A and B are shown apart, each in its own frame.
Chain A
Amino acid sequence: MINGAIIGLGKMGLSHASIVSAHPDVNLTCVCDTSSLVLDAFKKFSKLKVYTDYQKMIEEEPLDFVVIATPTRFHYAMVKFALDHGLHVFCEKPFTLTTAQGEELVESVNQKKLVNQVGFHNHFIGTFRELKRLLDKRVLGELFHFSGEAYGPVVTKEKGSTWRSNPEEGGGCLFDYASHVINLVQETIGRPEKVLGAVLKSIYSNGVEDAVYSLMRLTSGLTGTLLVNWSDETYRKMSTSITVQGKNGKIICDATEVKIYLKEAVPSENLEKGWTIKYITDFAIPVNFYLRGEEYSAQIDYFVNCIINKAPLEYNTFEQALYTDKVIEMIQEKNKLN
């Protein structure tokens, strides 16, 4: 058994707390937040110790890891403190507000050889893994275009502001929604090396963008688009998809389906000419506890497994998340030029 704690009990923090607490190999011993309402609920209904000061918690409790799910502007100081105390760290996305902060944390964690992970949970959705596998097998032949998209109904009318509407604090559609898509493109298709064009558009929000439209080039030379809008109420919840086109066809992939169109069959993959549809039911990663989607449990299972069994770090390392932050910076800079 290993001991863990959660810092930050908002939507993601509560979800992580529940999943970590249900994990058979983990003792969730304590939680930390500044909201007395939330902490009092934990005091009344759970057996967990509660803290309002994360530094005190880390110093006092015999912990192996922390999950950090606070607003982005707190990530740097909290991750640094946890690493300095020898803890493995799972941090929510996006990673840090500036890439300089991220670079320092990546260097520190690699030196200390601690398990590190950032919550880009799409990599734990079976369909996106199948997309990557098919691309690695080159079933589409030479690629000529990709499109990474996400739409959802977060801000659908003009109203008051929170940290999510403040770009200095890591708010806005670029940090919140688009970071998922950038990370997914980066790890399944290839790393963007240049942002050729970018538009950050405010629709209902003040001071922050509700949509991100960008054209980018990957290190492989492949170009494609990023189309993200969190003010689209035709979607019931966040819907993320990746389309990749090559000389031999295309693949459209989302959290439920992989739709493959091939001009020529690929017998080694049992893929016929024309359309083949694969469903999540064949790719869902089995979990022992389910909350909101297999991917949230699967990513914690993976994190815990990396700690206990010293498994090699493959998915969602700090370094990968830092690269996503770098692309975010490139998009911001390109947008400023407009």
Chain B
Amino acid sequence: MEKAILGDNQFFAVNHLSDEKSRAQAIRFKDDSAIISVIDQSIDLGIKTFMCTTHDRIANICDHIRKNPSGYQDFKIYPCMPYAHKYANAVTELGIMGTIKQYVPGNIFGTFAKGGLAFLSKDFIKMMEILIDAEMKMFKGIPTPVIFIQNVLVDMILGLKMYDVFAEYDRYIRKKYEAEPGYITMNLPALLDALNSVGVVNPVICSSINKIGFRMSGGKEIYEKCLREKEFQPIAMQVLAAGALKPKEAIEYLGQFPKIESVLFGASTKSHIRETKELIEQYM
């Protein structure tokens, strides 16, 4: 994995520090071309991995990449599924069954469809596979060497102690996509133990890691212990603690943990991308 990975929160109005700023971002990135231009700038600066949710608009970005292959040689996407708010808002309105009906491709309730059979026989693993395939469709033809499940789902499964689901996910991603399964979590220490307990070893885990312990459940110390002692491939996110930390002190803090393989960061301008990349190269 590359040391610096560009994230997509800034493109989709996700700002953990300010609802107002998030709306300003929605205006700034109204057109797909504005997103593409930031991705292109990051490629110019040598960042060739883009980690993104399976948001509807990412499908447009993928179309652009497929149409202009020359500009995106060696470019990789790390998809993160599902785009949770799409489902969460649907569940509020339609309930769980209504949401499945709306988002599963084809007619899942048709007895003869592949999905229909999975549904009728309550073959949950098959249903999971169908949903993954549906989310992955937009990336066809683009390298996706690591495929993540979003933290909402990872942490829900973790809390419910349904650890076998992780093992099934791991198996399917390796088999079908020949990719490395990744996990985003807000509960790194507990997740790592859970994955190890079902035989998932040395996993790629993306979690909040920052100097002030923001969104590091259970406290910073236990995270630091994991980073020193456990076997896994960490990607640090929320390294600026939603903006509470200055980039230099934030990246300098990460530098004490050689195990951290990558830093996921969001930036909207070339100068910010350059500054972050230089700090990562200097300290990590």
Contacts and interface: CB of A to CB of B under 8 A. Distances in A.
Interface of A: 10-11, 14-15, 17-19, 21-22, 35-38, 40-42, 44-47, 152-155, 160, 162-165, 176, 234, 236-237, 239, 241, 254-257, 279-282, 284, 286-292
Nearest to A171: B93
A11 B153 CA distance: 12
Contact of B212 (A17, A163, A281): A281
B159 A162 contact: no
Interface in B131-160: 152, 155-160
Contacts of B178: none
Contact of A18 (B92, B159, B243): B159
21 contacts: A10-B96, A14-B156, A14-B160, A22-B159, A36-B122, A45-B165, A152-B89, A155-B93, A160-B98, A164-B92, A165-B93, A236-B85, A241-B19, A257-B17, A281-B241, A281-B242, A289-B159, A289-B218, A290-B187, A290-B217, A292-B152
Contacts of A239: 19
A18 B156 contact: yes
B260 to A, nearest CB: 20
A18 B93 contact: no
A292 B156 CA distance: 9
Contacts, number: 130
Contacts of A47: 161
Nearest to A292: B152
Given A46-B161, A288-B218, A236 B155 contact: no
B160 A18 contact: yes
B190 A37 contact: no
Contacts of A18: 155-160
Contacts of A255: 19
B26 interface: yes
Contacts of A44: 122, 124
A21 B214 CA distance: 23
Interface of B: 12-20, 22-23, 26, 85, 88-89, 91-98, 122, 124, 152, 155-162, 164-165, 186-187, 190, 212, 214-215, 217-219, 241-244
A292 B154 CA distance: 11
Contact of B17 (A41, A152, A154, A279): A279
A291 B186 contact: yes
Given A237-B89, A254-B19, A279-B242, A35 B96 contact: yes
B253 to A, nearest CB: 15
Nearest to B154: A291
B12 A236 contact: yes
Given A236-B12, A237-B88, A40 B122 contact: yes
B17 A162 contact: no
A22 B158 contact: yes
B211 to A, nearest CB: 11
A15 B217 CA distance: 16
A37 B155 CA distance: 21
Nearest to A291: B155
Given A17-B159, A45-B162, A162-B95, A257 B124 contact: no
Nearest to B84: A292
B161 A21 contact: yes
A234 B26 contact: yes
A271 to B, nearest CB: 19
